Amino acid sequence: MAPVTRSLSPIGFGAFKIGRNQGTKYQRPYDLPDDPTVEALLNGVLDLGINYIDTAPAYGLSEERIGLAISHRRSEFILSTKVGESFDDGVSSYDFSERAVRQSVERSLRRLRTDVLDTVFIHAGRDDLRIVRHTDAAPTLMSLRDAGLIRAIGLSGYTVEGFRAAMSWADALMLEYHSDDTTLEPIVAEAASRSLTVVVKKGLASGRLPPVDAIAFILKNPGVASLVVGSLSLHHMRENLRIARQVPGRERPR
């Protein structure tokens, strides 16, 4: 994944909130923004110098809105999405079969209006070890990577065992890590020793931790490439990036 991640901004934009407001883990409810607001937000994020955007089919309208708003600026950002979970009519469904994974990637390419996906993660839950070992998701993503539709592949999961099982084929890992939960800190170190890219999700504990402390804690770990933060406020994203750039070694995109 080195050609993709060498220039990752320390803060990435998590695109959940632009596409979905049902069944969330955020403390406060929110309304979905309209299309002009999303367009202004996403273009503003890129203008700030944030060059990493993360989405997923499970994020409702997110992929389509990214494609509509900023596909014309595709060369300016690194894009990751996921396979295995989808969200339709207010309900999540899960399918890690070869057919489902291939169809998911094809849909993502269309929705995002791009010819190639920079990174695709398996969108796993607490049963990530089972998904890695006993479904078609990983070998199918490897095949799609070989075919050139995906540049890098990985696991978005939760357990030490799941991530260790994925390290033999993954280019990147997306994991939860913050000051209130350092369970996966050994995985960050192990991944770094293997030259795998580590992206942190839920680093603010879904809004429960103050950004000024949480961002610094995460980005002081040299094994972390980027922290994905979801927000509907360009002001908050600007402030998050300012905090990140105060961490030694994070002044510029990596």
Helices 98-112, 137-146: axis angle to 10 degrees equals 50
Q: In sequence order, what are the beta bridge partners of 154?
A: 121, 172
Strand partners, 121: 82, 154
Residue 158 among the catalytic residues: no
Q: What are phi and psi of 230, to 5 degrees?
A: -100, 135
Q: Which residue has the tokens 């070992």?
A: 133
Residue 11's H or E segment, with its range, is strand 11-14
Task: Spot the catalytic one: 26, 30, 52, 59.
Answer: 59
Instruction: Kindly compute the dihedral angle of the four CA atoms of residues 37, 112, 242, 201, in this order, to the nearest 10 degrees.
Output: 110
Q: How far is CA 189 from CA 123, 156, 245, in A?
A: 22, 17, 22
Whole-angstrom distance, CA of residue 34 vs CA of residue 146: 38
Which residues form the catalytic set?
59
